Amino acid sequence: MNVIIFGSTGRTGKYLIQFALEAGYDVTAFARNPDAITIHHPRLNVFQGDVTNGTAVTSAMSGQDAVIFAVGTDLGQTNLRHTAMNNIISAMQQNHVKRIIGIGGMGILQASEDKKIFETDGFPAEYIPVSQDHNAAFESLQKSGLDFTFVCPPTITDGPLTGKYVTQATFPPDGKFVIDTADLADFMIKELSEPAFIGLRVGITAI
């Protein structure tokens, strides 16, 4: 399987590359700065490009079988994920690629049947814009017709693989409300090979 990773130079990205290679996939790391990719492997190809450039994204999508979306921003960039997701969806549709696994944020999981966490009273105001960006990317996926899984972690910390985490569709699972980068990547690559949450948001947290 040919897998392209967007957000490959981020904290979770290096583990996504590592675990995808270990799973036997041929990996394309899409990166604005290829020098930031420190992994070298015969099944790893690095494609230089900007995820906001639709032409570059479409070119990189040629020959791919699945997509990993791990594009991150700071709190000041509140439309990058939505813009990137729209470019990726368009490229997937043009290249007849159906499977995508992306990272959102726990704020877009359901707090109740009719309200998402970021819409509740007391949700930190400084995180509302970025949650709205996550939500817009999710809504684009819902309308896309693609086989998507949108993983919605709580606070992400740099840490090695522990395998001690729990997942739940639509609502946040009980746990520590923190997840290590390696555990997040581990779940995403496992979901690629053994899909259990197609068409769903998935909460994940350490236990």
The pair of three-digit structure tokens given for residue 152, joined into one six-digit string: 């919605």
Q: How many Cα atoms are found within 13 Å in the side-chain-facing hemisphere of 77?
A: 10
The mean pLDDT value for 160-173 works out to 97
pLDDT(77) > 70: no
pLDDT of residue 188: 98
Whether the CB-CB separation of 42 and 69 falls below 8 Å is answered with no
Please state the domain count of the chain. 1
Give the C-alpha separation, 170 to 203, whole Å.
7
87-112 pLDDT, tens digit per residue, is 999 999 999 999 999 999 999 999 99
Q: How confident is the model at residue 195 (pLDDT cuts 50, 70, 90)?
A: very high
Residue 155 has pLDDT above 70, yes or no: yes
DSSP 3-state of 3 = strand
Alpha carbons 42 and 198: distance in angstroms, whole number: 30
CATH number for the domain that contains residue 181: 3.40.50.720
Would you state the pLDDT for residue 72?
Answer: 83
pLDDT score at 75: 61
What angle do helix axes 13-22 and 181-193 make, rounded to 10 degrees? 40
Give the DSSP letter of residue 33: S
Number of H helices, E strands in the chain: 5, 12
Q: Which residues constitute the domain of residue 83?
A: 2-206
- Looking at residue 201, the DSSP 8-state letter turns out to be E
